[in-house]
Structure 1
Amino acid sequence: MCGITGILDFGKRKRVEREEVKKMADAIQHRGPDDFAYLIEDNIGLGFRRLSIIDLAHGQQPFYSEDGSVVLICNGEIYNYKELRQELIAKGYRFKTECDVEVIVHLYVAYGIDFINRLNGQFAFCIYDKKQDTMYLARDQFGICPLFYKVVDQMLIFGSEIKALLRNRHVRKEVNPTALDQLFSFPGIVSPVTFFKDINSLKAGHYLKVKGTDIQVKEYWDLDYPLESIHQEEKDEDYYVDRLEELLLKSVKYRLNADVPVGFYLSGGLDSSLIASMMKRLNPDASYKSFSIGYPRAEDSEHDERIYQRLVANKVNSIHKEIEFDWSQVAAKLKDAVYFSEGALKESYNTCSLALSENVRNSDIKVVLSGEGSDELFGGYVGYRFDVQRRGFERPAGLEEMLEAQLREKLWGDPDFFYETNHYDFRNTTKAVYSNKINDNFDTIDCLETLPINKSRLEGRHPFHKRSYLDLKLRLSDHLISDHADRVNYANSVEGRYPFLDIELVDFIKTIPPAVKLKHMTEKYILKQVARRYLPESISTRQKFSWVAPGSSQLLQNNVEWINDMLSYSQIKRQGYFNPDTIERIKRIYSAPDFRLNLPYDTDLLIIVLTFNTFLEVFDMPSL
């Protein structure tokens, strides 16, 4: 619902200036164009930009405790706020507005920071307790709402986007090459890493506490699957289907709460189609707007899902808004996608998402529901089926296989667990792409040396649960939800909501045995049984269809001038991060008229190089 930013001068040297806080907030005006506010008091400065969604007239922040000693700014939505509000009113707390996030300040007074475990929502907030001289920053369980911070010279500087921090005179811009290495190695970068050195992303399910000069980051939630050795009583299939339907309906209903019109994205796949049908079930008389994208060119026809999008739109009787996309729109929007994502990209489809959110905003919609999270929780990717097929097979004997097994043991605690790529072999590729300067210091940036996940959550778990946990940590939170959803939605002042990422729903999903989720080797089997109650068979039985957009090969083949310049030998050499001879060889391969990457299974090496070099230019970052 907004953007937040602020400064805490815990060195107490009175270095907080109103004009600087205002500049920081103005840098993220797109997150909240409807209103703004600032608080400057002693050694703290807070900035707030509002996107008005609930209690349009009175929901201005900051919020204060009744005695004025606790102040709150929050980006997000608290979906169970009505229940929490009634509980607090019964305890004697008084509310000044109908805004959902006002419950946070009273919950903190009533229960301390442990209240955070009672929130069902998407949020990033700052609480400052004047009496305790303590500040808390917190991010929701799934990392839907981003929050970035930097500690420098006894100052904590934070914001919903890094752009806000960059407006502070104490923040220097330096490249973090480890983020680049993560992008090559994983589906995306992983908190706390960002593309800016010493600017951290607060991890999902964590909060940061500053008291005096002491700074601590603490975990309050993680996805904790049961140990495989612990026998779980398996209930009959109807129980799982009924309970899943009940909780998903409840989650969708929560996310329809708004004082502005709500729409939905429609990909044509199972997840968004089911959400659309549940919206219609909950509000049969409502006329929702739906938004989708199609690929009209013949070379992109295999990725075009408009026939399924239209089928669902007609079924739920939505006002359907459809846009067409091809390589020319990718080229036109790629710089904007990098700017709003604040880093390099592994795919080009953020450009499609930008176009979608622009269409949403132009249709006078501020809130859209989307299907992210389902694949990671129900086994929607092909890797879940491959795990079943590989189980019990002996791996090939050989030196490379042995070295790969050792690396997998180090990363995942299991020499037989394959995730995304053969990392040992792929290291040769990345090192060939990197410049000599990068390779000379490779040990200091190697992302496989400091994997930012809790490996104890993988130990003793079923392979399905291992993959689900890794997908949540390495794919969903900082990639699909943060740079691919939050950033590109808010670029056009649109809030995305994600019914599959509901804490009560996820707590139930954890109890569903893997054999039920992947029954008969059918991806998302149990969710498809729910979908059969809502959707035509042509949708409910569809296999996972990956959403991709035209990649770097099509951009090269169509001779886009600025892209040619960005990938030129002289530019690559001058910036210093990549080997210009290697890039020239890759360009020749990608430029061949009949060349096509098998997206999303192949890594588009040049889109990473292109968007990283674009990142350097857009943010005026130093060359190496």
Structure 2
Amino acid sequence: MCGITGVCYKDPQRRPSLDVVKRMSDKLVHRGPDDAQNVANGNAGFGFRRLSIIDLVHGSQPFYSNDGSVMLICNGEIYNYKELRAELSAKGYVFNTNSDIEVLVSLYVEYGNDFLKRLNGQFAMALFDSKRNLLLLAKDHFGICPLFYTLYDDAVIFASEIKAILEYPGIPREVNLSGLDQIFTFPAAISPATLFKGIYSLEPGTYAVYTGGVLTKTEYWDLEYPEIGYKYESKDEAYYVEGLNEQLLRSVKYRVHADVPVGFYLSGGLDSSLIGGLMYATNDSRDFNSFSISFSGSGKENKEINEQRYQHLMSKHLNSTHNDIDFSWGQIDKKLREVVYFSESPLKETYNVCSLALSEAARARNVKVVLCGEGADELFGGYAGYKFDTLRMNKTIHKDLDHLLEDKVRNHLWGNPEFTYEKNEHEFREVKSALYSNSMQSRYGDFDCLKTPVVNKARMKNRHIFHQRSYVDFKLRLGGHLIADHGDRMALANSVESRYPFLDVNLIDYVTKIPPGMMLQNMNEKFLLKQVAKGIVPNEIIRREKFGFVAPGSVALLKANVEWINDLLSYDTIKRQGFFNPDTIERLKKHYMKDDFVLTPPYDLDLLIIVLTFNIFLDTFQLPSL
């Protein structure tokens, strides 16, 4: 992983300032502390910060074509680069390093924009073709690597993180109200939306071409499940278990490849345990460090969320070098500002603080790469919603006016009036209305995020209900949150690269061809994955109920009576900023402070943590009040 940034002007005669490019790339030093390059080629200037992982000596970027006309920088890893390199070598291309990224330039020269369809990896890249006066920006299939851009000053300005774009002179700073509305409504802000007005996130599986002052986006990949009526192979469970095991093992082999120490995060659940087990099953002679968050305090709240017993069970099973990160609730307020700075967004919960502590521990052990289990719940039906869908399928519901209004919203968002994602969105509009200030309410029609669908409804039409939910989870929960602010941003804050074996394009292609009935059997979530885990993961972990990782939220922070938090949630501060109704916030604070009040994530939304972290966000990035 690395950090990339740059600018490309519409005018081919205009030259970028390398001082400006350097200021932008210096904001990404945490993503790449090992090397820095700031270069110009015609009307394009690129800044690069390197985190050295493969070919430690010769992997500096940019890479150039033989004639120097193509310049490329990339944040990420190309896992199938050896196969691609062999193919291109046979065609006469010459390579000067062992870097995985070097192959991309020759691949572009050979295949043009279609080269992206040949990649298996996690990446965000920028390529300037001076012969065509063309800038190409591209993001991996799942959106693991971030890439943001804005059109300003007759140019496109881009970066791995928004804070680098804000270093470009004159960039306006204003809250994107629709992005804020998405934070309340969905698991996160969804690409292309960000919390900064006029600054966008490139969508997963998409590339953008900027030429002649015009930016055009093209989708080159999307998760696509078969339509109802598709003839699945007539194979038994054992066939799919064997095939899935082969795909996962191949994916893990790709992702343990590095010229630096590799480790893995171990939550104590099925997904991370299976990844750890497969790492040791690759016949790699290395020992791997495992890292876990534990809450070992004596209080009831610690015992309810502590998974240490299962973490130790798995690490002992593998004989991994285990690292316990003992986390106390009092650390949350001390790290919250740092988390918002790296997330560049308000948050719906505080457990990003724990993710930050994990990467800090990995870096302290000189582990630059960690493998993670994200993606399994979305692929194999790990959330409660998949069970609820099954229970609803054969129920007849009498629909009153509220139901009909909700159906209208669902049909607009998902193309299916029967599909419920997390909550009743029409009903929740009233909650948001009470939260927002009078000024916000008066303009709500301009930024209501429900007015615009956030997924491609054609990918849900005529699909099995399991696949519909999987698709939405991939787009909203996984891409927008789990591998974004929770994954990449918290890992790279401490110069650690996170890799996701469940997010392998070949594995995903295989899974889409598995009959959905194999995934959830007798209301047993992730049934098929549990069969793969047998013999790799202890039965006690396989059989345990799914345990969603949680961390203390606004209730605990309010009761801790932290001065700066009280100030950010004070009546005067809320009123002065103008986004929220100060009377509503006061009522919520009193309600949350009651002795018998309990929030139960993920079913209860912590409204005040969003308000609090939004106020931290305003302060951190010096954004104006409404």
Q: Please, what TM-score do these two structures have when normalized by structure 1?
A: 0.99
2:94 paired residue number: 94
Letter in 2 for 1:594: D
Q: Deviations over 1:202-240 (max 9, x none)?
A: 000000001222320110000110111333234111110
Aligned counterpart, 2:237:
237
Q: Give the C-alpha shift of residue 127 in structure 1.
A: 0.9
Q: What is the correspondence of 1:110-125 to structure 2 with a 5 Å cutoff?
A: 110-125=110-125
Task: Report what 2:490 is aligned to.
Answer: 488
Alpha-carbon offset, residue 170 of structure 1: 3.4
State yes or no: 1:405 paired with 2:384.
Answer: no
Q: Does 1:263 align with 2:257?
A: no
Inter-CA distance 532–400: structure 2 relative to 1 (3 Å threshold): same
Which residue of the other structure, out of 455, 458, 468, is the alignment partner of 2:457?
A: 455
Provide the C-alpha distance between the structure 2 equivalents of 1:367 and 1:78, rounded to a whole number of angstroms. Answer: 14
Q: Would the aligned equivalents of 1:71 and 1:128 in 2 still touch at CA under 8 Å? A: yes
Q: Which residue of 2 aligns with 1:590?
A: 592
Q: Distance in 1 between matches of 2:582 and 2:108?
A: 55
1:462-516: CA deviation from partner (whole Å, max 9, x where unpaired): 1100000000001111211011100010000000000000000000000111100
Partner of 1:23: 23
- Indicate yes or no: 2:65 matched with 1:65: yes
Q: What is the identity percentage for the equivalent residue pairs of Structure 1 and Structure 2?
A: 56
Return the alpha-carbon distance in structure 2 between the equivalents of residues 508 and 254 of structure 1. 17
Matched, 1:288 2:321: no
* CA 622–107 in structure 1, closer or farther in 2 if over 3 Å, else same: same
Instruction: Classify the secondary structure of the residue corresponding to 1:501.
Output: coil
Which residue is 2:201 aligned to?
A: 201
Q: CA deviation at 1:581?
A: 0.3
Give 1:13 deviation, angstroms.
Answer: 5.7
CA distance in 1 between counterparts of 2:617 and 2:213 reads: 34
SS at match of 1:196: coil
Residue identity opposite 1:180 in structure 2: L
Equivalent position to 1:506, from 505, 508, 527: 508
Q: Residue 175 of structure 2: SS of its match in structure 1?
A: coil
Contact 1:300–1:550 (CA under 8 A) maintained in structure 2: no
For 1:179, the equivalent position in structure 2 comes to 179
| SS of equivalent to 2:45 | strand
Residue in 2 that maps onto 1:4: 4
| Match runs of 1:368-387 below 5 Å | 368-387=370-389
Which residue among 367, 384, 398 is the counterpart of 2:369?
367
Q: Which moved more, 1:237-246 or 1:8-17?
A: 8-17
How much does 1:375 deviate? 0.4
Task: Summarize the alignment of residues 310-349 of structure 1 with structure 2, pairs less than 5 Å apart.
Answer: 310-349=312-351
- Among 600, 603, 619, the alignment partner of 1:601 is 603
Deviates more, 1:214-223 or 1:391-400: 391-400
Q: Is the 8 A contact 1:6 1:46 kept in 2?
A: yes
Q: Tell me the distance in 2 between the aligned counterparts of 1:421 and 1:94.
A: 55
Unpaired segments ≥5 residues, structure 1: none
Indicate if the aligned counterparts of 1:597 and 1:604 stay in contact, CA closer than 8 A: yes
Contact 1:176/1:196 (<8 A) preserved: yes
Report if aligned partners of 1:346, 1:607 keep a CA contact under 8 Å in 2: yes
Q: Which residue of 2 aligns with 1:543?
A: 545
Tell me which moved more, 349-358 or 208-217: 208-217
- 2:310 maps to 308
Q: Is the CA contact (8 Å cut-off) linking 2:13 and 2:42 kept in structure 1?
A: no
What code does the residue aligned with 2:150 have?
A: K
Q: In 1, distance between residues paired with 2:24 and 2:398?
A: 55
- Equivalence for 2:47: 47
Equivalent runs, 1:442-481 vs 2, <5 Å? 442-481=444-483
* Cα distance in 1 for residues equivalent to 2:112 and 2:514: 33
Q: Distance in 1 between matches of 2:544 and 2:510?
A: 24
Q: CA deviation at 1:350?
A: 0.6
Distance of 1:286 and 1:316 partners within structure 2: 12
1:350 pairs, out of 332, 349, 352, with 352
Residue matched to 2:418? 416
**Counterparts of 1:525 and 1:232, CA distance in 2:** 18
Offset from partner CA, 1:26-69 (integer Å, 9 cap, x none): 00110000001111233111000000000000000000111111
Corresponding letter in the other structure for 1:33: P
Give the equivalent residue in structure 2 for 1:619: 621
The offset of 1:335, in angstroms, is 0.5
Q: Is 1:7–1:157's contact at 8 Å kept on the other side of the alignment?
A: yes
Cα distance in 2, alignment partners of residues 465 and 234 from structure 1: 19
How far apart, in 2, do the equivalents of 1:432 and 1:99 lie?
54
Matched, 1:520 2:487: no
**Residue 392 (structure 2) aligns with:** 390
In 2, Cα distance between equivalents of 1:256 and 1:70: 30
2:223 counterpart of 1:223 = yes
- Change beyond 3 A, Cα 1:171–1:234: farther
| Cα shift readout 1:446-467 (whole Å, capped 9, x = no counterpart) | 0000122111001001110000
Note if contact 2:76-2:145 (Cα within 8 Å) is conserved in structure 1.
Answer: yes
My pick for the range that moved more, 6-15 or 537-546, is 6-15
Distance 2:302 2:598 in 1: 11
SS in 2 for 1:47: strand
For the 8 Å contact 1:523–1:543, the answer to whether it is kept is: no
Partners of 2:410 and 2:419 within 8 A in 1: yes
Structure 2 distance, partners of 1:479, 1:372, is: 11
Q: Does the aligned pair in 2 maintain the 1:408–1:417 contact within 8 Å?
A: yes
- For this pair of structures, how many residues does the alignment match? 624
Amino acid at match of 2:82: K
Q: Could you say which residue in structure 2 is the equivalent of 1:37?
A: 37
Report if aligned partners of 1:557, 1:593 keep a CA contact under 8 Å in 2: no
Residue 403 of structure 1, CA deviation: 1.1
Which residue number corresponds to residue 254 of structure 1?
A: 254
Higher mean displacement: 326-335 or 70-79? 326-335
- Aligned Cα RMSD in Å? 1.0
User: Shift of the alpha carbon at 1:415?
Assistant: 1.5
Aligned residue number for residue 147 of structure 2: 147
User: Which stretch of the first structure deviates more once superposed, 290-299 or 543-552?
Assistant: 290-299
**Match of 2:252, SS?**
helix
Q: Could you report, residue by residue, the CA deviation over 1:350-401 in whole angstroms, capped at 9, with x for unpaired residues? A: 1110111111111111000000111001100010011011002122321211
SS for the counterpart of 2:30 is helix
Is the contact made by 1:367 and 1:496 (CA closer than 8 Å) also made in structure 2?
A: yes
Q: 1:132: how far off?
A: 1.2
Q: Distance in 2 between matches of 1:325 and 1:393?
A: 44
Q: Tell me, in whole angstroms, the C-alpha distance in 1 between the residues paired with 2:262 and 2:573.
A: 45
**C-alpha distance in 2 between matches for 1:11 and 1:395:** 61
Residues 257 and 479 (structure 1), Cα distance of their counterparts in 2 relative to 1, 3 Å cut = same
Distance (Å, rounded) in 1 between the aligned partners of 2:186 and 2:544: 27
State whether residues 80 and 120 of structure 2, in contact with CA within 8 Å, keep that contact through their aligned partners in structure 1: yes
Offset at 1:519?
1.7
8 Å contact kept, 1:266–1:290: yes
Which deviates further from its counterpart, 550-559 or 10-19? 10-19
Other structure's SS at 2:291 match? strand
Q: Which residue of 2 aligns with 1:562?
A: 564
The one-letter code matched in structure 2 to 1:8 is C
